[in-house]
Amino acid sequence: MANHARDNRNVSDKRSALAGAGMQQRAYSHSDQVGGTRRREADGRWVDREPEPPRTEPQRRPGERETIGQFIARNAVYILSVVAVALIAVLLIFGVRMFADLTTPIDAEGEGYVSPYDWSNLDRTNGHYAYVVNGQVKSRLGVDVADYQGSPDWEAVAADGIDFAMIRLGYRGATEGALYLDEYFESNLENARAAGIDCGLYFFSQAISIEEAVEEADFVLDNLNGRPLEYPIAFDSEVVTSLGATRTIDLTDEELTAIADAFCDRIEQAGYRTMVYGNARDLSSYDIDVMTGRGIWWAEYGVEHPSHYTDIVMWQYTSSGSVAGFDTTVDMNLDLSGVL
């Protein structure tokens, strides 16, 4: 019985405690839900609420739009990062373009130049090119030869549709600088003309001064000995990279232009026409104004048409042409002077 009474007291005490706790919890809950500047404590007293901490950023009312200033302030770090990346990208692009401009001396028809040729008129049948306008062939087909080709059968060459030949008269050594006559110059000139093929000449120059250029021109004139030519005498200067450090490797553009000008002047004084040979990079070394009045013989292979940036009169379009009368491949050329 005593135990039972003690147990009943314990239960009664626990219920009273729980009831008190419930009332306290409800009092706090009620005052929190009601809100306001005061709240009611468990013992029935009203006390002031603690002030809310200040807000760190402005709050917009529902439906209120964010101003541009607020957007910038909220995203300042992100915006600055984007601007920095954009500036770096612009600088990189500008730098690459500057480097390309410095390392690429030519711009194929990219500076307002308009070619006088409509290359849709080009006929490439069997590798023997022709420029045809309204059914009429306006061009002439030619070859250029040196002692590498030996002594071709010029009658067979002519029968295969070849109209002209540019024959190497000689060359200067790329290392020691001596002058040499091409082994087959005399026979090629004589036999080609006998077969009815018009002829011009070229000289492979390695001159490094105006004096040497004049020496080369005099060498050409002495060996030509006044014989007439249907085509010009071409000046051909190239850097022979296969031999390492060669004579012309350090020539400036101004020096090379003066050398070519001196050679052509001397040839022209003797009554012959001149032209300058080279690929796009070779020819970009010359001052084109100095070359005015002299033909440009442009070398470029494996393309639909030459990417010339100045007017040209002849295009060497392959170094591996096939022509009857030759035991080897041969350079082939298209004379476009009749189109202009």
Locus of tokens 């940036």: 309
Helix (H, G, I), strand (E, B) or coil at 154: helix
What's the mean pLDDT in 163-187? Answer: 97
pLDDT, residue 293, reads: 87
Indicate whether 171 pLDDT > 60. yes
Within 13 Å of residue 259, how many CA atoms lie on the same side as its CB? 23
Contacts of 144 (CB under 8 A, 6+ apart): 165, 166, 167, 168, 202, 316, 330, 331, 333
User: How far is the CA of 134 from the CAs of 98, 122, 131, 305, 338, in angstroms?
Assistant: 44, 12, 10, 19, 14
* Tokens, residue 327: 């035991």
Mean pLDDT of the chain: 82
pTM given for the model: 0.69
Helix 253-269 crosses helix 210-224 at what angle (to 10 degrees)?
30
* Tokens, residue 72: 């910038």
Cα(156)–Cα(168) distance, integer angstroms: 20
pLDDT, residue 340, reads: 84
Give the tens place of pLDDT for each residue, 76-132.
667 777 777 677 764 565 443 333 333 334 444 446 899 999 999 999 999 999 999
Indicate whether 149 pLDDT > 70. yes
Indicate whether 2 pLDDT > 70. no
pLDDT, residue 43, reads: 65
Indicate whether 179 pLDDT > 60. yes
Torsion of CA 170, 171, 172, 176, to 10 degrees: -100
What's the mean pLDDT in 283-303? Answer: 92
Give the tens place of pLDDT for each residue, 204-237.
999 999 999 999 999 999 999 999 999 999 999 9
pLDDT, residue 204, reads: 98
Indicate whether 11 pLDDT > 60. no
Going 208 to 214 to 218 to 220, the CA torsion angle's sign is positive
Indicate whether 5 pLDDT > 50. no
Helix (H, G, I), strand (E, B) or coil at 159: helix
Locus of tokens 């990417």: 307
Helix (H, G, I), strand (E, B) or coil at 47: strand
Percentage of residues in the chain having pLDDT higher than 70: 69
